[in-house]
Amino acid sequence: MRGSRPEDRIAVVTGSGHRLGKAIALSLARRGFGIVIHFHQAEDEANKTAEAVSALDVPVWIARADLRTTHGVDELFRMVDETGKYLAVLINAAGVMLPSRLLDVTPEDWKDSIGLNLKGMFFCVQAGARRMASGGAIINISDVAGHEPWPAYPLLSISKAGVEMLTRVAALSLAPGIRVNAIAPGPVLKPEEISADRWEEIGRERALRRTGSADDVTRAVNFILDSEFMTGETVVIDGGWLLGTC
């Protein structure tokens, strides 16, 4: 990426205390970025991620914020400002996957899911872009659920479909200085509620006959960061999920 010296650049990764956000934060640290680790509730995990980032000999900061609220977004980016570094990369990885049937969704469910997955991401894009006067890159983590209706997870499908339109609108609005892209993972990290046997079965049902890993997504992140003629796109990393079952 072009821009300021590597030692002066930072990357913000929301939801980077654990799981996919953690893997992305560590991948960016290996590229030499200072990392702002964001979490809301996973404090112990965030501290462990910070230790792992620090071991890579790059600066690290930890920020706690509830991104469902605009106050939380403001608090996160206030801490970003306090680093004194240039925000070069924003990865919006914070999200929630709430199971519910359509007729059972409550206003609180809507507030929690849409509030974090879409509203929070929108205002993080806005706040991040305002700090990228010299250019930068934003990557929004979507999901294959945004490409097909999931009746058991209606708010996930709705919010992630919105994330992909947000990505396109932001890419056009913020060009040419800021590139905005998205990644839509498929089965790359096993949810806790799914058994190991079922997880393997899910992989066997798809074109590549296996599930993926967080490394598949971090490789896509690096590809996007290195592809300076790419904006407004969604990279689907799903092992053939959207092709249907075999």
Task: Determine the distance from the C-alpha atom of residue 14 to the mean position of all C-alpha atoms in its chain, rounded to a whole number.
Answer: 7
pLDDT above 50 for 51: yes
pLDDT above 60 for 2: no
In this prediction, what percent of the chain has a pLDDT beyond 70? Answer: 97
Enter the tokens of residue 201.
Answer: 């079965």
Q: CA-CA-CA-CA torsion for 192, 23, 215, 1, nearest 10 degrees?
A: 150
pLDDT above 70 for 82: yes
pLDDT digits (tens, 9 = 90+) for 168-223: 999 999 999 999 999 999 999 998 889 999 999 999 999 999 999 999 999 999 99
* Residue 20: pLDDT band with limits 50, 70, 90: very high
Enter the tokens of residue 212.
Answer: 């993926």
pTM for this model (two decimals) = 0.96
Task: Average the pLDDT over 49-54 and give the result.
Answer: 98
Task: Average the pLDDT over 36-41 and give the result.
Answer: 97
CA 39/CA 19 separation, integer angstroms: 12
pLDDT value of residue 192: 86
Domain boundaries, given as residue ranges, for the chain: 6-239
pLDDT value of residue 6: 61
pLDDT above 50 for 34: yes
CA 13/CA 28 separation, integer angstroms: 9
Superfamily of domain 6-239: NAD(P)-binding Rossmann-like Domain (3.40.50.720)
Residue closest to 122 by CA, chosen among 169, 166, 157, 161: 166
pLDDT above 60 for 3: no
